[in-house]
Structure 1
Amino acid sequence: MPYVNIKITNETVSREQKSQLIKGVTKLLVEVLNKKPETTFVVIDEVDLDNWGIGFDQVSELRKVPSD
């Protein structure tokens, strides 16, 4: 019973894109590990930019466009 957790920032990821991720990951586990799709779980967690850090900074700060 595989469980895959995908974490992404909550920026403009459509329902269709999430569906493609779920289908693609499930297909990969079926093809590579011979897992049953009916017992394969894929969970997508969308993380707010303020709650995701790279180095010393929040992604919300890193994504700000510098003003000229």
Structure 2
Amino acid sequence: MPFIDVTLGSGRSPEQVRALIHELTEAAHRAVGAPLANIRVVIREVDPAHWAAGDVTTEERNARQKDAG
């Protein structure tokens, strides 16, 4: 039973999240032949203020890009 765990920055539409679930499920089905009913997908959305790389949060990075643009 494949279990796919995805962490994303929040802000995507419900339709985008649903499309991601669909595409991941189909990919696992094609790649390993698992029955669709046995494939599990979990999407975790993280607030941009709670996600950082290089000691800069996504929220801070987005603000800097907006100010520079």
- TM range, normalised to the smaller chain? 0.7 to 0.9
Give the % identical residues: 26
- Structure 2 match to 1:54: 53
For residues 30 and 10 of structure 1, the distance between their equivalents in structure 2, rounded to whole angstroms, comes to: 26
Q: Which runs of 5+ in 1 are unaligned?
A: none
Aligned position for 1:10: 10
Q: CA RMSD in A?
A: 1.2
Instruction: After the TM superposition, list the runs of 4 or more consecutive aligned residues in structure 1 that deviate by more than 4 angstroms.
Output: none
Q: TM-score, normalised by structure 1?
A: 0.88
Unaligned runs of 5+ in 2: none
CA distance in 2, matches of 1:62, 1:17: 22
1:18, distance to aligned residue in structure 2 (A): 1.1
Q: What residue is the counterpart of 1:66 in the other structure?
A: 67
1:33 and 2:48 matched: no
Shift of 1:66: 2.1
Q: How many residues align?
A: 66
